[in-house]
Chains A and B, each alone.
Chain A
């Protein structure tokens, strides 16, 4: 049993363990500070192909290609990147293929940057409008079970799914203010 203090800092390691447990071989990402520890773990793993994208929608397409070839993948991104994915989500929907997304939230809880708020506020609605099953994790203890559910839903039921990791878990970037 993990203590609350451990979960507060260890949730990225718990996600990494889940990616291994689910046999994830391809990790597509546009970096976010909230995912930096997880990204480091994935980069250090020779069994994972980590691909840094120029825009998040590439990740939706890449995971489709991976699944065609029999490999499981996951897309890591920040909430603003969800906006870049909208039309490409038609690909896993029409083909009925797994597309799990792990989204770290901005513009969500104590945001400093006005430009993050519109997309942060719309992230869940936009994903759901595009047929994605969305679950939120707003405490560190919730992250691992929610990510596990998101991976299971994607690979067992062949559809886009997402976990939104709230800014309450990540802490708001303050720019020194």
Chain B
């Protein structure tokens, strides 16, 4: 398996974390929150089973809920950023009320708004996203800071014992852009076809 790396800061390197979570993904469907998480899932290998978002800030986790409810037999993984999660923080309560076993929400927490000039987010000031998720009713809510914890998270995402939430503390370095297709009708249509086959286009 690809090595999980640490940056000079001592914190986990985001793309190595995402690569580890997605490697040998099987049936897993992945939604990437706008900005760096969308580039991260694309850097791990652009794939029809990925839905990288170019907008809809605050909506990634609850998109995952709609998808997880529609496809209960497949693991659904939302990978998003701390700023994006904070904007839709109420969706943790919405998700908790439904307790979808197949849904995992992983926040790559660099404590900054990366796309707009690295302004600090609330997590920079100690806001505990995993604690908020747990308090909302997502019992398996973790803070992830080590390689071993990433590997345990990788297994948990695949186990279908969710809902699961993870706040992964990552290094804040801005990495080279790896852009997915920008025509969003293609992004949705290719994912639907990957899930539903050619019948997707006749629904």
Contact with A along B176-189 (1 / 0, CB 8 A): 00000000110110
Pairwise interchain contact B185-A96, C-beta atoms closer than 8 A: yes
Pairwise interchain contact B66-A26, C-beta atoms closer than 8 A: yes
What's the tally of chain B residues with a CB closer than 8 Å to chain A?
38
Pairwise interchain contact B62-A68, C-beta atoms closer than 8 A: no
Q: Does A137 contact B (CB under 8 A)?
A: no
Residues of A within 8 A of B (CB): 25-26, 28, 49, 51-55, 57-58, 60-71, 73, 87-88, 90-91, 94-97
Pairwise interchain contact B90-A54, C-beta atoms closer than 8 A: yes
Residues of B within 8 A of A (CB): 29, 31, 51, 53-60, 62-71, 88, 90-91, 93-94, 97-98, 184-185, 187-188, 191-192, 195-196, 200, 203
CB distance from B3 to the nearest CB of A (A): 32
Pairwise interchain contact B70-A65, C-beta atoms closer than 8 A: yes
Pairwise interchain contact B69-A26, C-beta atoms closer than 8 A: yes
Number of A-B contacts (CB under 8 A): 122
Pairwise interchain contact A57-B59, C-beta atoms closer than 8 A: yes
Assembly CA distance A51 to B62 (angstroms): 11
Pairwise interchain contact A66-B69, C-beta atoms closer than 8 A: yes
Q: If the complex has contacts A51-B65, A51-B94, are A88 and B58 also in contact, measured as CB distance less than 8 A?
A: yes
Chain A residues, CB < 8 A from B200: 70
Max count, chain A CB within 10 A of own CB: residue among B62, B68, B188: B62
Which residue in chain B gives the minimum CB-CB distance to A55?
Answer: B90
Chain B residues, CB < 8 A from A71: 66, 69-70
Chain B residues, CB < 8 A from A28: 66
Known: A26-B66, A70-B70. 10 other contacts (CB 8 A): A26-B69, A51-B69, A52-B94, A54-B93, A61-B62, A61-B63, A61-B66, A64-B56, A65-B70, A88-B58
Pairwise interchain contact B203-A70, C-beta atoms closer than 8 A: yes
Pairwise interchain contact A65-B55, C-beta atoms closer than 8 A: no
Pairwise interchain contact B188-A70, C-beta atoms closer than 8 A: no
Chain B residues, CB < 8 A from A63: 66
Assembly CA distance A70 to B69 (angstroms): 10
Pairwise interchain contact B65-A68, C-beta atoms closer than 8 A: no
